[in-house]
Structure 1
Amino acid sequence: MAQALEFHFDGDADAAVRGLWRRLADNGVPDAVPSPATAPHVTFAAAGTIPAATRAALREDLRLLSIPSLWLSFLTAADDELALTAVVDTELLAVHSAVHDVLAKRVKQPVARYLPGSWMPHCVLARDLDPARMTAAFAALHPTGSIKARITEIVVVDTHTGETDVLRDLEDRS
């Protein structure tokens, strides 16, 4: 994956997720948590390339959408990844579908796990966990409780360089 469409969280949700990352680091999996430079987020789409013209179209559509808050409520383990999964409702699926309507046939190498019908909205807490470390990480965080995450920024992130392109700043009141 080279470019991802990420929805970033408000300050309280950001701090709550970073608190979970610290708990994991304090409980034996410091190398598995995202770097401090990584913003807690939910990825809505990913592809090898999201071209500039597609970003412009997406920027325009996102301006017209009402972006719902997320309830990150379920601690989940899949493959080698530990995540906090969001409650899925019709509003969230509508935004996801609208994003993919714009991206359809306009991106190179779309990542299948983010396509409609396959996508499970989640915030990654740790990666590259073998079974023993997954068990320890799950135990360190269970139970997590729910985190209400208001979306404050939507960006395309280059996953290799870390460069970001802000498509919508929901905090900008101008």
Structure 2
Amino acid sequence: MTHVIEMFLDEEADQRVQLLWSQLSDAGIPSLATYSHGRHRPHVTLCGAPELGFDDLAEASEIIAGQLPTLTLGTLGAFPGHKGALFLGVVPSVELLDLNARLHAQLVSGKGRQWRFSGPGQWVPHCTLANGLTAAERARGLEACADFESFDSRVSAICVIDAATGERLTVLAQQSSGA
């Protein structure tokens, strides 16, 4: 079983990513909206490991301690390989890199094989648009999303997700301003 800690985007940014997912679908490219368990929301994964479990919620909550960073989704990119991905790259701020490093050190280190591109010094912060794509699908996907313009997002929540089922438990959620 694999668990991940994910940051969910604010409502406006969530809608912008879902629009990109629709554009991919219209181009015949399967987006993250329908990938695996089909319960994905637009997100940025902070860390993950085969044995990261819901027992770690208290520790994760202490590490995060109110840190809901603003994310700048600044680039459209692709991971290579025969089952590569399309993504929106997140500008790696100092606080974002520090949060990843602290979570990784406390919750992930020593718990089995680490995900490529997820640990300190390797992490590529991103919001996945589509996974498991061939090179031709990635090229068509980049074309389908060519009108992408960078945007900012507040983090609305940080959750632990069971990667197999999509089950989620909230670690920290944005406080509403109460208007």
Q: TM-score, normalising length from structure 2? A: 0.86
Q: After superposing the two structures, state which structure 1 stretch, 117-126 or 34-43, moved more.
A: 34-43
- Structure 2: unaligned runs, 5 residues or longer: none
Paired-residue identity, % = 29
Aligned partner (choices 102, 123, 127) of residue 131 of structure 2: 127
**How many angstroms apart in 1 are the aligned matches of 2:87 and 2:114?**
22
Number of equivalent positions? 172
Stretches of 4+ moved more than 6 A in 1?
none
Q: Which structure 2 residues correspond to residues 43-82 of structure 1 after superposition, within 5 A?
A: 43-63=45-65, 65-79=66-80, 80-82=84-86
Alpha-carbon RMSD across the aligned residues, in angstroms, is 2.1
Paired AA for residue 51 in structure 1: G
Structure 1 position 28, deviation (Å): 1.8
Structure 1 position 129, deviation (Å): 1.4
Structure 1 position 61, deviation (Å): 2.1
Structure 1 position 9, deviation (Å): 0.7
Q: Deviations over 1:43-87 (max 9, x none)?
A: 010111223443211112212x43221010111111210000011
**How many angstroms apart in 2 are the aligned matches of 1:93 and 1:162?**
25
Structure 1 position 110, deviation (Å): 3.4
**Which residue matches 1:6?**
6
**How many angstroms apart in 2 are the aligned matches of 1:9 and 1:72?**
10
**Which residue matches 2:159?**
155
**Which residue matches 1:169?**
173
Do 2:31 and 2:130's aligned partners in 1 also have CA atoms closer than 8 Å? Answer: yes
Structure 1 position 143, deviation (Å): 3.5
- Structure 1: unaligned runs, 5 residues or longer: none
Do 1:155 and 1:168's aligned partners in 2 also have CA atoms closer than 8 Å? Answer: yes
**How many angstroms apart in 2 are the aligned matches of 1:120 and 1:128?**
17
Structure 1 position 116, deviation (Å): 0.3
